[in-house]
Amino acid sequence: MLYAVDGREFLDKDISDEHWEKISGLIDRLFSHPIWTVDFKHSMRTKAVETALSKNQNAEKAFSDVQLKPGYVAGMDKLPPDCLD
């Protein structure tokens, strides 16, 4: 990093291949969650996610209710089979 404005260090810093690999893996895990492919009419939980996305409200609760949490994205938590029910 040659120069960085305060607060922009992450944006201005070169990211190592190792870190890009980790970031890429987390993004892959985020988008491999079944909420992105299920019909939102599947259950009340999935309908809540649709509403949260369309109205930009209560997203934290809606995603938490379908187990789309930081622990899942980081690979620490497994999804229960009924996470969308």
Per-residue pLDDT of the chain (85 residues), as tens digits, is: 445 556 666 666 778 899 899 999 999 999 999 999 999 999 999 999 999 999 999 999 999 999 999 999 999 999 999 999 9
Q: Is residue 62 part of a domain?
A: yes
End-to-end Cα distance, the chain: 48
Give the pLDDT confidence score for residue 77 in this predicted structure: 96
User: Is 0.95 topped by the overall pTM?
Assistant: no
Q: Is residue 29 part of a domain?
A: no
Give the pLDDT confidence score for residue 75 in this predicted structure: 94
Q: Is residue 44 part of a domain?
A: yes
Q: Is residue 47 part of a domain?
A: yes
Q: Which domain holds residue 78?
A: 39-85
Q: Is residue 77 part of a domain?
A: yes
Distance, in Å, from the CA atom of 22 to the CA atom of 68, rounded to the nearest integer, reads 18
